[in-house]
Structure 1
Amino acid sequence: MTTTDPMPTLTETLTRLRAAQKGHARGAPAYSVYVNRRIGRVLAAIGYRLGLTPNQVTMVSAAHTFAGIVLLATMPPSWWSGIVVAALLVLGYAWDSADGQVARLRGGGSVAGEWLDHFVDAIKIATLHLAVLIGLFRFGDLDEPVLLLPIGYSIVATVTFFGMILNDLLKGARGVASTHARGGGTLGRSLLLVPTDFGLLCLVFLLWGAPPAFLTVYAALFAANTLFLCAASVKWFREMRRVG
Protein backbone atom coordinates (compact mmCIF):
# COMPACT_ATOMS: atom_id res chain seq x y z
CA MET A 1 0.00 0.00 0.00
CA THR A 2 1.43 3.40 -0.98
CA THR A 3 1.01 6.65 0.89
CA THR A 4 -1.77 7.66 -1.54
CA ASP A 5 -3.79 4.47 -1.11
CA PRO A 6 -6.77 4.72 1.25
CA MET A 7 -6.55 2.91 4.57
CA PRO A 8 -8.40 -0.42 4.29
CA THR A 9 -11.44 -0.93 6.47
CA LEU A 10 -11.26 -3.09 9.58
CA THR A 11 -13.03 -5.90 7.73
CA GLU A 12 -10.61 -5.68 4.80
CA THR A 13 -7.65 -5.69 7.19
CA LEU A 14 -8.95 -8.79 8.96
CA THR A 15 -9.42 -10.49 5.59
CA ARG A 16 -5.81 -9.70 4.66
CA LEU A 17 -4.61 -11.10 7.98
CA ARG A 18 -6.55 -14.33 7.58
CA ALA A 19 -5.14 -14.79 4.09
CA ALA A 20 -1.56 -14.14 5.28
CA GLN A 21 -1.86 -16.21 8.45
CA LYS A 22 0.93 -18.74 8.90
CA GLY A 23 0.25 -22.27 10.02
CA HIS A 24 0.59 -22.69 13.75
CA ALA A 25 3.71 -24.21 15.22
CA ARG A 26 3.73 -27.93 15.78
CA GLY A 27 2.90 -28.55 19.41
CA ALA A 28 1.18 -25.18 19.90
CA PRO A 29 -1.48 -25.65 22.61
CA ALA A 30 -5.15 -25.09 21.88
CA TYR A 31 -5.79 -21.74 23.60
CA SER A 32 -2.88 -20.11 21.80
CA VAL A 33 -4.03 -21.45 18.42
CA TYR A 34 -7.81 -21.19 18.56
CA VAL A 35 -8.41 -18.31 20.96
CA ASN A 36 -5.37 -16.10 21.45
CA ARG A 37 -4.42 -15.90 17.78
CA ARG A 38 -7.94 -14.84 16.83
CA ILE A 39 -8.11 -12.16 19.50
CA GLY A 40 -4.64 -11.05 18.41
CA ARG A 41 -5.83 -10.81 14.81
CA VAL A 42 -8.52 -8.30 15.77
CA LEU A 43 -6.05 -6.31 17.89
CA ALA A 44 -3.52 -6.41 15.04
CA ALA A 45 -6.09 -4.98 12.64
CA ILE A 46 -6.93 -2.23 15.13
CA GLY A 47 -3.26 -1.49 15.79
CA TYR A 48 -2.51 -1.38 12.07
CA ARG A 49 -5.33 1.08 11.43
CA LEU A 50 -4.02 3.23 14.30
CA GLY A 51 -0.60 3.30 12.63
CA LEU A 52 1.20 1.31 15.34
CA THR A 53 4.50 -0.33 14.45
CA PRO A 54 5.20 -3.93 15.50
CA ASN A 55 7.55 -2.71 18.23
CA GLN A 56 4.90 -0.36 19.57
CA VAL A 57 2.44 -3.27 19.65
CA THR A 58 5.02 -5.27 21.62
CA MET A 59 5.23 -2.46 24.15
CA VAL A 60 1.42 -2.28 24.42
CA SER A 61 1.53 -6.00 25.18
CA ALA A 62 4.22 -5.44 27.81
CA ALA A 63 2.23 -2.62 29.44
CA HIS A 64 -0.82 -4.87 29.91
CA THR A 65 1.19 -7.87 31.09
CA PHE A 66 3.38 -6.07 33.59
CA ALA A 67 0.45 -4.09 34.99
CA GLY A 68 -1.14 -7.43 35.83
CA ILE A 69 2.08 -8.74 37.33
CA VAL A 70 2.49 -5.64 39.52
CA LEU A 71 -1.09 -6.00 40.78
CA LEU A 72 -0.39 -9.60 41.82
CA ALA A 73 2.47 -8.45 44.03
CA THR A 74 0.88 -5.32 45.47
CA MET A 75 -2.88 -5.87 45.86
CA PRO A 76 -4.53 -8.24 48.35
CA PRO A 77 -6.19 -11.21 46.63
CA SER A 78 -9.88 -10.61 45.89
CA TRP A 79 -12.37 -11.55 43.23
CA TRP A 80 -12.17 -8.14 41.57
CA SER A 81 -8.36 -8.04 41.58
CA GLY A 82 -8.27 -11.57 40.13
CA ILE A 83 -10.59 -10.52 37.29
CA VAL A 84 -8.47 -7.43 36.57
CA VAL A 85 -5.21 -9.41 36.65
CA ALA A 86 -6.63 -12.12 34.38
CA ALA A 87 -7.98 -9.53 31.93
CA LEU A 88 -4.66 -7.68 31.78
CA LEU A 89 -2.68 -10.89 31.25
CA VAL A 90 -5.10 -12.15 28.58
CA LEU A 91 -4.91 -8.83 26.72
CA GLY A 92 -1.13 -8.74 27.08
CA TYR A 93 -0.90 -12.24 25.60
CA ALA A 94 -3.24 -11.31 22.74
CA TRP A 95 -1.24 -8.16 21.92
CA ASP A 96 1.87 -10.38 21.97
CA SER A 97 0.28 -12.39 19.16
CA ALA A 98 -0.64 -9.18 17.34
CA ASP A 99 2.87 -7.74 16.86
CA GLY A 100 3.91 -10.37 14.30
CA GLN A 101 0.63 -10.00 12.47
CA VAL A 102 1.10 -6.23 12.25
CA ALA A 103 4.60 -6.88 10.89
CA ARG A 104 3.13 -9.02 8.10
CA LEU A 105 0.61 -6.31 7.24
CA ARG A 106 3.43 -3.77 7.00
CA GLY A 107 5.55 -6.00 4.77
CA GLY A 108 7.70 -7.94 7.23
CA GLY A 109 9.38 -7.70 10.60
CA SER A 110 12.95 -7.09 11.69
CA VAL A 111 15.61 -8.88 13.71
CA ALA A 112 15.45 -6.10 16.30
CA GLY A 113 11.69 -6.56 16.57
CA GLU A 114 12.04 -10.30 17.06
CA TRP A 115 14.67 -9.70 19.73
CA LEU A 116 12.41 -7.23 21.55
CA ASP A 117 9.50 -9.66 21.44
CA HIS A 118 11.55 -12.51 22.94
CA PHE A 119 13.19 -10.19 25.48
CA VAL A 120 9.80 -9.04 26.79
CA ASP A 121 8.64 -12.66 26.89
CA ALA A 122 11.69 -13.59 28.96
CA ILE A 123 10.97 -10.85 31.51
CA LYS A 124 7.32 -11.90 31.70
CA ILE A 125 8.15 -15.55 32.28
CA ALA A 126 10.81 -14.73 34.88
CA THR A 127 8.62 -12.37 36.90
CA LEU A 128 5.05 -13.71 36.79
CA HIS A 129 5.53 -16.55 39.26
CA LEU A 130 7.75 -14.41 41.47
CA ALA A 131 4.85 -11.94 41.69
CA VAL A 132 2.62 -14.85 42.75
CA LEU A 133 5.21 -15.69 45.41
CA ILE A 134 5.26 -12.11 46.70
CA GLY A 135 1.47 -11.88 46.73
CA LEU A 136 1.07 -15.15 48.61
CA PHE A 137 3.80 -14.20 51.09
CA ARG A 138 2.41 -10.72 51.77
CA PHE A 139 -1.30 -11.43 51.88
CA GLY A 140 -1.77 -15.16 52.42
CA ASP A 141 -1.74 -16.98 55.75
CA LEU A 142 -0.05 -20.04 54.28
CA ASP A 143 2.39 -22.70 55.38
CA GLU A 144 5.90 -22.08 54.12
CA PRO A 145 6.01 -25.21 51.87
CA VAL A 146 3.18 -23.72 49.80
CA LEU A 147 5.50 -20.85 48.86
CA LEU A 148 7.76 -23.35 47.12
CA LEU A 149 5.10 -23.77 44.41
CA PRO A 150 5.68 -20.43 42.61
CA ILE A 151 9.44 -20.80 43.05
CA GLY A 152 9.37 -24.20 41.37
CA TYR A 153 6.96 -22.98 38.69
CA SER A 154 9.26 -20.05 37.90
CA ILE A 155 12.19 -22.43 37.46
CA VAL A 156 10.23 -24.77 35.19
CA ALA A 157 8.79 -21.95 33.07
CA THR A 158 12.16 -20.22 32.66
CA VAL A 159 14.02 -23.41 31.76
CA THR A 160 11.30 -24.44 29.29
CA PHE A 161 11.43 -21.06 27.53
CA PHE A 162 15.22 -21.12 27.39
CA GLY A 163 15.21 -24.69 26.07
CA MET A 164 12.82 -23.81 23.25
CA ILE A 165 14.78 -20.72 22.23
CA LEU A 166 18.09 -22.61 22.42
CA ASN A 167 16.73 -25.45 20.28
CA ASP A 168 15.67 -23.06 17.56
CA LEU A 169 18.95 -21.13 17.75
CA LEU A 170 21.16 -24.22 17.44
CA LYS A 171 19.04 -25.75 14.69
CA GLY A 172 18.86 -22.51 12.74
CA ALA A 173 22.65 -22.14 12.90
CA ARG A 174 22.95 -25.55 11.22
CA GLY A 175 20.20 -25.08 8.67
CA VAL A 176 17.81 -27.52 10.37
CA ALA A 177 14.07 -26.89 10.62
CA SER A 178 12.98 -25.43 13.95
CA THR A 179 11.55 -27.65 16.65
CA HIS A 180 8.47 -25.46 16.43
CA ALA A 181 8.41 -25.10 12.66
CA ARG A 182 5.04 -23.90 11.41
CA GLY A 183 2.85 -26.18 9.43
CA GLY A 184 -0.12 -27.00 11.57
CA GLY A 185 -0.73 -29.81 13.96
CA THR A 186 -3.50 -32.06 15.17
CA LEU A 187 -6.36 -30.84 17.34
CA GLY A 188 -5.74 -33.72 19.73
CA ARG A 189 -2.13 -32.69 20.25
CA SER A 190 -3.16 -29.07 20.82
CA LEU A 191 -5.73 -30.09 23.42
CA LEU A 192 -3.28 -32.43 25.13
CA LEU A 193 -0.86 -29.53 25.60
CA VAL A 194 -3.44 -27.11 27.02
CA PRO A 195 -1.95 -27.36 30.57
CA THR A 196 1.28 -25.87 29.19
CA ASP A 197 -0.56 -22.96 27.56
CA PHE A 198 0.29 -19.53 28.95
CA GLY A 199 -3.24 -18.43 28.04
CA LEU A 200 -4.72 -21.01 30.40
CA LEU A 201 -2.41 -19.79 33.16
CA CYS A 202 -3.73 -16.26 32.59
CA LEU A 203 -7.30 -17.47 33.12
CA VAL A 204 -6.39 -19.28 36.35
CA PHE A 205 -5.96 -15.89 38.03
CA LEU A 206 -9.75 -15.55 37.94
CA LEU A 207 -9.47 -17.75 41.07
CA TRP A 208 -6.98 -15.40 42.75
CA GLY A 209 -9.64 -14.28 45.21
CA ALA A 210 -10.19 -17.88 46.40
CA PRO A 211 -6.71 -19.03 47.50
CA PRO A 212 -7.55 -22.72 48.10
CA ALA A 213 -9.08 -23.10 44.63
CA PHE A 214 -6.31 -21.05 43.02
CA LEU A 215 -3.54 -23.04 44.69
CA THR A 216 -5.15 -26.37 43.72
CA VAL A 217 -5.35 -25.49 40.03
CA TYR A 218 -1.99 -23.69 40.10
CA ALA A 219 -0.30 -26.75 41.62
CA ALA A 220 -1.91 -29.01 39.01
CA LEU A 221 -0.58 -26.82 36.19
CA PHE A 222 2.85 -26.76 37.81
CA ALA A 223 2.89 -30.56 37.93
CA ALA A 224 1.78 -30.80 34.29
CA ASN A 225 4.41 -28.31 33.15
CA THR A 226 7.10 -30.15 35.12
CA LEU A 227 6.19 -33.44 33.45
CA PHE A 228 6.19 -31.73 30.06
CA LEU A 229 9.66 -30.28 30.65
CA CYS A 230 11.03 -33.66 31.74
CA ALA A 231 9.66 -35.38 28.63
CA ALA A 232 10.58 -32.51 26.29
CA SER A 233 14.15 -32.29 27.57
CA VAL A 234 14.75 -35.94 26.64
CA LYS A 235 13.26 -35.34 23.18
CA TRP A 236 15.26 -32.13 22.67
CA PHE A 237 18.52 -33.81 23.68
CA ARG A 238 17.93 -36.60 21.18
CA GLU A 239 17.21 -34.02 18.47
CA MET A 240 20.46 -32.21 19.29
CA ARG A 241 22.39 -35.47 19.01
CA ARG A 242 20.92 -36.00 15.53
CA VAL A 243 21.74 -32.44 14.56
CA GLY A 244 25.30 -32.90 15.82
Structure 2
Amino acid sequence: MLKNTGDYRWALAELAQRQKTSKGAPAYSRYINRPMGRRLAAMAYKMGLTPNQVTGISALCTFSAIAIIVLLRPTWWQGILVAGLLVLGYALDSADGQLARLQNSGSAAGEWLDHVVDAIKTAMLHLAVLVSFYRFTDLDERWYAVAICFQIVATVQFFAMILTDQLRRLNQGTRTHFLKGEGRSSALYSLAVVPTDFGLMCLVLGLMFLQPVFLALYLLLLVANVGFIILALRKWYREVRSFG
Protein backbone atom coordinates (compact mmCIF):
# COMPACT_ATOMS: atom_id res chain seq x y z
CA MET A 1 0.00 0.00 0.00
CA LEU A 2 1.48 3.36 -1.00
CA LYS A 3 1.86 6.11 1.56
CA ASN A 4 1.72 9.88 1.16
CA THR A 5 -0.25 9.52 -2.06
CA GLY A 6 0.40 12.44 -4.38
CA ASP A 7 3.55 13.58 -2.55
CA TYR A 8 6.28 14.39 -5.09
CA ARG A 9 9.16 14.50 -2.61
CA TRP A 10 8.21 11.16 -1.07
CA ALA A 11 7.94 9.59 -4.51
CA LEU A 12 11.34 10.99 -5.53
CA ALA A 13 13.00 9.64 -2.38
CA GLU A 14 11.31 6.26 -2.74
CA LEU A 15 12.33 5.99 -6.40
CA ALA A 16 15.96 6.60 -5.46
CA GLN A 17 15.82 3.26 -3.60
CA ARG A 18 14.22 1.41 -6.51
CA GLN A 19 16.62 2.14 -9.35
CA LYS A 20 17.80 -0.53 -11.75
CA THR A 21 21.37 -1.74 -11.48
CA SER A 22 23.98 0.38 -13.24
CA LYS A 23 25.58 -2.77 -14.68
CA GLY A 24 26.14 -2.28 -18.41
CA ALA A 25 24.53 1.17 -18.45
CA PRO A 26 26.22 3.81 -20.67
CA ALA A 27 27.06 7.17 -19.13
CA TYR A 28 24.16 9.21 -20.56
CA SER A 29 21.57 6.68 -19.41
CA ARG A 30 23.21 6.26 -16.02
CA TYR A 31 23.95 9.86 -15.09
CA ILE A 32 21.40 11.89 -17.06
CA ASN A 33 18.48 9.86 -18.37
CA ARG A 34 17.65 7.83 -15.27
CA PRO A 35 17.74 10.86 -12.92
CA MET A 36 15.52 12.75 -15.40
CA GLY A 37 13.23 9.73 -15.59
CA ARG A 38 13.07 9.57 -11.81
CA ARG A 39 11.81 13.15 -11.60
CA LEU A 40 9.31 12.58 -14.39
CA ALA A 41 8.12 9.38 -12.71
CA ALA A 42 7.60 11.25 -9.42
CA MET A 43 5.67 13.93 -11.31
CA ALA A 44 3.56 11.29 -13.07
CA TYR A 45 2.86 9.66 -9.71
CA LYS A 46 1.71 12.99 -8.28
CA MET A 47 -0.56 13.48 -11.32
CA GLY A 48 -2.04 9.99 -10.95
CA LEU A 49 -0.81 8.68 -14.31
CA THR A 50 -0.32 4.99 -15.05
CA PRO A 51 2.92 3.54 -16.47
CA ASN A 52 1.16 2.78 -19.77
CA GLN A 53 0.05 6.40 -20.07
CA VAL A 54 3.65 7.51 -19.53
CA THR A 55 4.73 5.04 -22.22
CA GLY A 56 2.15 6.59 -24.56
CA ILE A 57 3.44 10.12 -23.92
CA SER A 58 6.99 8.88 -24.49
CA ALA A 59 5.97 7.33 -27.81
CA LEU A 60 4.22 10.56 -28.87
CA CYS A 61 7.37 12.60 -28.22
CA THR A 62 9.69 10.14 -29.94
CA PHE A 63 7.57 9.51 -33.02
CA SER A 64 6.90 13.24 -33.42
CA ALA A 65 10.66 13.83 -33.51
CA ILE A 66 11.13 11.09 -36.11
CA ALA A 67 8.35 12.61 -38.24
CA ILE A 68 10.04 16.02 -38.03
CA ILE A 69 13.33 14.50 -39.28
CA VAL A 70 11.47 13.08 -42.29
CA LEU A 71 9.26 16.07 -43.08
CA LEU A 72 11.31 19.19 -42.32
CA ARG A 73 14.60 20.40 -43.74
CA PRO A 74 17.34 20.45 -41.09
CA THR A 75 17.68 23.91 -39.52
CA TRP A 76 18.83 25.09 -36.11
CA TRP A 77 15.28 25.30 -34.75
CA GLN A 78 14.36 21.95 -36.26
CA GLY A 79 17.44 20.50 -34.54
CA ILE A 80 16.41 21.88 -31.16
CA LEU A 81 12.91 20.48 -31.64
CA VAL A 82 14.16 17.05 -32.68
CA ALA A 83 16.73 16.77 -29.88
CA GLY A 84 14.30 18.10 -27.27
CA LEU A 85 11.52 15.68 -28.19
CA LEU A 86 13.89 12.71 -28.40
CA VAL A 87 15.51 13.54 -25.05
CA LEU A 88 12.09 13.94 -23.40
CA GLY A 89 10.80 10.75 -24.99
CA TYR A 90 13.85 8.84 -23.80
CA ALA A 91 13.51 10.18 -20.24
CA LEU A 92 9.83 9.19 -20.20
CA ASP A 93 10.84 5.76 -21.48
CA SER A 94 12.84 5.43 -18.25
CA ALA A 95 10.06 6.98 -16.18
CA ASP A 96 7.38 4.42 -17.07
CA GLY A 97 9.35 1.53 -15.58
CA GLN A 98 10.29 3.55 -12.51
CA LEU A 99 6.66 4.50 -11.98
CA ALA A 100 5.63 0.84 -12.26
CA ARG A 101 8.17 -0.10 -9.58
CA LEU A 102 6.95 2.71 -7.34
CA GLN A 103 3.31 1.65 -7.71
CA ASN A 104 4.15 -2.07 -7.61
CA SER A 105 2.11 -2.26 -10.79
CA GLY A 106 4.65 -3.83 -13.13
CA SER A 107 3.12 -6.36 -15.51
CA ALA A 108 4.03 -8.51 -18.50
CA ALA A 109 1.65 -6.41 -20.61
CA GLY A 110 3.34 -3.18 -19.54
CA GLU A 111 6.80 -4.52 -20.33
CA TRP A 112 5.52 -5.83 -23.67
CA LEU A 113 4.13 -2.40 -24.57
CA ASP A 114 7.35 -0.67 -23.57
CA HIS A 115 9.47 -3.03 -25.68
CA VAL A 116 7.15 -2.80 -28.69
CA VAL A 117 7.38 1.02 -28.63
CA ASP A 118 11.17 0.74 -28.37
CA ALA A 119 11.23 -1.76 -31.26
CA ILE A 120 9.22 0.59 -33.50
CA LYS A 121 11.51 3.49 -32.56
CA THR A 122 14.59 1.39 -33.32
CA ALA A 123 13.18 0.25 -36.66
CA MET A 124 12.35 3.81 -37.77
CA LEU A 125 15.09 6.14 -36.53
CA HIS A 126 17.89 5.61 -39.06
CA LEU A 127 15.41 5.13 -41.89
CA ALA A 128 14.23 8.65 -41.05
CA VAL A 129 17.84 9.87 -41.35
CA LEU A 130 18.09 8.09 -44.72
CA VAL A 131 14.92 9.81 -45.97
CA SER A 132 16.25 13.18 -44.76
CA PHE A 133 19.51 12.59 -46.64
CA TYR A 134 17.53 11.81 -49.80
CA ARG A 135 15.06 14.69 -49.54
CA PHE A 136 17.14 17.56 -48.23
CA THR A 137 20.78 17.01 -49.22
CA ASP A 138 22.91 16.30 -52.28
CA LEU A 139 25.14 13.88 -50.39
CA ASP A 140 27.06 11.12 -52.12
CA GLU A 141 24.90 7.99 -52.15
CA ARG A 142 27.46 6.19 -50.00
CA TRP A 143 26.01 8.11 -47.06
CA TYR A 144 22.73 6.30 -47.70
CA ALA A 145 24.62 3.06 -47.06
CA VAL A 146 25.88 4.49 -43.75
CA ALA A 147 22.31 5.11 -42.58
CA ILE A 148 21.22 1.65 -43.74
CA CYS A 149 24.15 0.01 -41.94
CA PHE A 150 23.32 1.96 -38.78
CA GLN A 151 19.72 0.75 -39.04
CA ILE A 152 20.86 -2.87 -39.28
CA VAL A 153 23.29 -2.53 -36.35
CA ALA A 154 20.72 -0.78 -34.14
CA THR A 155 18.07 -3.41 -34.85
CA VAL A 156 20.38 -6.34 -34.17
CA GLN A 157 21.71 -4.71 -31.02
CA PHE A 158 18.23 -4.01 -29.64
CA PHE A 159 16.90 -7.49 -30.33
CA ALA A 160 20.00 -9.27 -29.00
CA MET A 161 20.10 -7.12 -25.86
CA ILE A 162 16.40 -7.68 -25.05
CA LEU A 163 16.59 -11.42 -25.76
CA THR A 164 19.73 -11.82 -23.64
CA ASP A 165 18.08 -9.95 -20.76
CA GLN A 166 14.98 -12.15 -20.95
CA LEU A 167 17.04 -15.35 -21.02
CA ARG A 168 19.22 -14.09 -18.17
CA ARG A 169 16.17 -13.43 -16.01
CA LEU A 170 14.65 -16.78 -16.95
CA ASN A 171 17.86 -18.55 -15.98
CA GLN A 172 18.00 -16.77 -12.62
CA GLY A 173 14.33 -17.31 -11.91
CA THR A 174 13.21 -13.69 -11.77
CA ARG A 175 10.65 -11.71 -13.75
CA THR A 176 11.97 -8.31 -12.71
CA HIS A 177 14.95 -6.17 -13.67
CA PHE A 178 17.82 -6.27 -11.22
CA LEU A 179 17.79 -3.36 -8.80
CA LYS A 180 20.50 -1.07 -7.49
CA GLY A 181 23.17 -3.02 -5.61
CA GLU A 182 22.68 -6.19 -7.67
CA GLY A 183 25.81 -5.68 -9.76
CA ARG A 184 27.26 -2.49 -11.19
CA SER A 185 29.64 -1.18 -13.82
CA SER A 186 32.45 1.28 -13.24
CA ALA A 187 32.17 4.89 -14.33
CA LEU A 188 34.99 4.21 -16.79
CA TYR A 189 33.01 1.41 -18.45
CA SER A 190 29.93 3.64 -18.65
CA LEU A 191 31.98 6.29 -20.44
CA ALA A 192 33.58 3.73 -22.76
CA VAL A 193 30.22 2.47 -24.04
CA VAL A 194 28.57 5.90 -24.30
CA PRO A 195 28.68 5.75 -28.16
CA THR A 196 26.04 3.00 -27.91
CA ASP A 197 23.74 5.17 -25.80
CA PHE A 198 20.48 6.26 -27.44
CA GLY A 199 20.68 9.47 -25.41
CA LEU A 200 23.84 10.50 -27.22
CA MET A 201 22.15 9.78 -30.55
CA CYS A 202 19.27 12.06 -29.49
CA LEU A 203 21.73 14.94 -29.13
CA VAL A 204 23.66 14.17 -32.32
CA LEU A 205 20.45 14.11 -34.39
CA GLY A 206 19.86 17.68 -33.28
CA LEU A 207 22.98 18.66 -35.24
CA MET A 208 21.79 17.57 -38.68
CA PHE A 209 21.69 21.21 -39.79
CA LEU A 210 25.48 21.36 -39.23
CA GLN A 211 26.07 18.79 -41.96
CA PRO A 212 29.87 18.27 -41.77
CA VAL A 213 29.77 17.99 -37.97
CA PHE A 214 26.78 15.66 -38.01
CA LEU A 215 28.21 13.39 -40.70
CA ALA A 216 31.53 13.03 -38.88
CA LEU A 217 29.82 12.20 -35.58
CA TYR A 218 27.30 9.89 -37.26
CA LEU A 219 30.04 7.90 -38.97
CA LEU A 220 32.12 7.67 -35.79
CA LEU A 221 29.09 6.42 -33.84
CA LEU A 222 28.42 3.79 -36.50
CA VAL A 223 32.01 2.51 -36.30
CA ALA A 224 31.85 2.44 -32.49
CA ASN A 225 28.52 0.58 -32.53
CA VAL A 226 29.77 -1.98 -35.04
CA GLY A 227 32.77 -2.64 -32.80
CA PHE A 228 30.56 -2.91 -29.74
CA ILE A 229 28.07 -5.33 -31.28
CA ILE A 230 30.84 -7.61 -32.54
CA LEU A 231 32.27 -7.87 -29.02
CA ALA A 232 28.89 -7.95 -27.28
CA LEU A 233 27.38 -10.72 -29.41
CA ARG A 234 30.32 -12.97 -28.62
CA LYS A 235 30.06 -12.21 -24.89
CA TRP A 236 26.27 -12.64 -24.76
CA TYR A 237 26.42 -15.92 -26.68
CA ARG A 238 29.00 -17.33 -24.27
CA GLU A 239 26.87 -16.20 -21.33
CA VAL A 240 23.67 -17.71 -22.72
CA ARG A 241 25.50 -20.91 -23.62
CA SER A 242 26.53 -21.28 -19.97
CA PHE A 243 22.86 -21.43 -18.96
CA GLY A 244 22.66 -25.00 -20.28
Sort the TM-score into its range (normalised by shorter chain). over 0.9
Aligned positions of 1:2-151 closer than 5 A: 7-24=5-22, 26-151=23-148
CA distance in 2, matches of 1:102, 1:171: 23
What per-residue deviation string (whole Å, max 9, x for no partner) do you get for residues 94-148 of structure 1?
0000001111221230000000001100000110000000011100111111111
CA 1:63–1:176: 2 relative to 1, 3 Å = same
CA distance in 2, matches of 1:164, 1:220: 21
Aligned to 2:164: 167
Deviation for aligned residue 1:43: 0.6
Instruction: Determine if contact 2:26/2:194 at 8 Å carries over to the other structure.
Output: yes
Aligned positions of 1:181-196 closer than 5 A: 182-196=182-196
The range that moved more, 160-169 or 142-151, is 160-169
Q: Percent identity?
A: 52
CA distance in 1, matches of 2:95, 2:105: 13
What per-residue deviation string (whole Å, max 9, x for no partner) do you get for residues 43-66 of structure 1?
111111111100111111000000
Residue type of the partner of 2:21?
Answer: G
Aligned to 1:233: 233
CA distance in 2, matches of 1:92, 1:7: 25
CA 1:173–1:41: 2 relative to 1, 3 Å = closer
CA distance in 2, matches of 1:158, 1:71: 21
Aligned residues: 240
CA 1:21–1:241: 2 relative to 1, 3 Å = closer
Where does structure 2 lack aligned partners over 5 or more consecutive residues?
A: none
Segments of 4+ moved more than 4 angstroms: none
Deviation for aligned residue 1:166: 1.8
Residue type of the partner of 1:21?
Answer: Q
CA distance in 2, matches of 1:43, 1:170: 30
Deviation for aligned residue 1:174: 3.6
CA distance in 2, matches of 1:9, 1:173: 35
Where does structure 1 lack aligned partners over 5 or more consecutive residues?
A: none
CA distance in 1, matches of 2:236, 2:54: 32
Residue type of the partner of 1:226?
Answer: V
CA distance in 1, matches of 2:74, 2:64: 15
Instruction: Determine if contact 2:15/2:102 at 8 Å carries over to the other structure.
Output: yes
CA distance in 1, matches of 2:216, 2:55: 32
